[in-house]
Amino acid sequence: MPLQNFHLAALFEESPELIPRRFLLGRELQDSLKNQWHEQLEAFRNVSRLIDFNPGYSLESDELFKIDEFQPPEWLASRTSLTAEELASVAGHEDKFKHLVCLLAFARTAQREEIVLFQNFVSSHLIQPGRLIFRSRETYETNSRPSLALDKKLSAVYFPSNRQLLFKNFRAANTFLPLADYFSESSGEEIRQILSHRILTPETTASVDALAADPPQWFRKRFAMLRASRLLDNYTAREIQASSSGYDITIQVERDNIIFPADRDAAKKLLQFLNEEIYRGAITKKLYETNSKRETGE
């Protein structure tokens, strides 16, 4: 049986908040999407094992990460398929599609269980006016407003009744849900090890000593995220620097090494960039790119 009480929505980043808005769908499109997302849910849950989230664990194709007792962000905590109709409409906000974080759907399963489904959103899914042609009767026309292409698979599923979150890829899910708190924190010694990576060069030795001696929790978690991502192993300093072009950050590279800044604010911004929290997907190009995110503080 397909999903019931289906409501499609989009999550926008309207600094400093994330704001969900609902699509008002015609009956034919509503029924079509309801069936498509049900099929995607069946495919998503067709796994043999659920693994307690461990950033150092590499999932097999038939496994999913799970977080039990997930603490939903404020915008999600009180939302269900019964309250989704209260969301403001997407209509009239097409100019903000460039700040779209993900697509999601509020629904109920055949067992009347509330569920929230998430699709990752990448920049290629945004179709600007004049970039799409379609047949209208005997002629072809183009879109006069920004349009969206939907993905073919889910990236995460949340069950409000028991606060269980299922997802496949941390970096993808972290673009629309706060997962940093579920990372264990790096120790001072581990921070030293990361800063001694072959493509990193600290600006000063004193800055390493100061950061490793008493690192704030925010830095402990971001270093842990960076270590788990293996991004520094998979990309060169020059590739990362090139990825920052056009974004509000300056990455200094000397002798094929990224200079890790001594200034705490600059260091924080660099870590956010490397973890794709500010510029989601700017390096890997797999995630939607944006230019702001609410600060979590130290």
Clarify whether residues 96 and 156 are in a common domain: yes
Whether residue 228 is contained in a domain is answered as yes
Q: Of the candidates 127, 148, 181, which is a domain's last residue?
A: 181
Whether residue 286 is contained in a domain is answered as no
User: Hunting for tokens 């956010």 — which residue is that?
Assistant: 272
Helices (H), ranges, 133-263: 170-173, 188-195, 205-213, 217-229, 231-234, 237-243
Whether residue 292 is contained in a domain is answered as no
Clarify whether residues 58 and 155 are in a common domain: yes
* Region of residue 255 (phi > 0: left; psi between -120 and 50: alpha; otherwise: beta): left
* Two structure tokens written together for 21: 């808005």
Clarify whether residues 190 and 61 are in a common domain: no
Whether residue 157 is contained in a domain is answered as yes
Contact 183, 224 (CB under 8 A): yes
Clarify whether residues 25 and 88 are in a common domain: yes
User: Hunting for tokens 């659920």 — which residue is that?
Assistant: 50
Helix (H, G, I), strand (E, B) or coil at 23: coil
Clarify whether residues 160 and 98 are in a common domain: yes
Concatenated DSSP letters of 65-111: EEETT----HHHHT--TTTGGGSPBSTT-GGGGGGEEEEEEEEE-TT
Whether residue 54 is contained in a domain is answered as yes
Whether residue 287 is contained in a domain is answered as no
Tell me, what amino acid is at 188? G
Clarify whether residues 53 and 158 are in a common domain: yes
Clarify whether residues 29 and 172 are in a common domain: yes
Show contacts of 225-231: CB within 8 Å, 24+ apart.
225/55, 225/180, 225/183, 225/275, 226/194, 226/271, 226/274, 226/275, 227/186, 227/190, 227/194, 228/55, 228/56, 228/170, 228/183, 229/170, 229/171, 229/274, 229/275, 231/274, 231/283, 231/284
Whether residue 282 is contained in a domain is answered as no
Clarify whether residues 18 and 139 are in a common domain: yes
pLDDT of residue 68: 95
Q: Of the candidates 181, 197, 231, which is a domain's last residue?
A: 181
**Domain limits for position 174:** 4-181
Q: Rounded distance, CA 98 to CA 193, Å?
A: 37
Q: What's the total number of domains in the chain?
A: 2
pLDDT of residue 275: 85
Condensed to tens digits (0 to 9), the pLDDT of residues 115-148 reads 999 999 877 788 888 888 888 888 888 888 888 8
Clarify whether residues 100 and 226 are in a common domain: no
Q: Rounded distance, CA 139 to CA 141, Å?
A: 7
Clarify whether residues 104 and 215 are in a common domain: no
Tell me how crowded residue 177 is: count the other CB atoms within 10 A of its CB: 23
Q: Rounded distance, CA 64 to CA 169, Å?
A: 9
Query: Which parts of the chain register pLDDT below 50?
Result: 279-282, 285-298
Clarify whether residues 131 and 54 are in a common domain: yes
pLDDT of residue 185: 84
Question: pTM to 2 decimals?
Answer: 0.72
Whether residue 295 is contained in a domain is answered as no
Clarify whether residues 164 and 237 are in a common domain: no
Q: Of the candidates 129, 159, 181, which is a domain's last residue?
A: 181
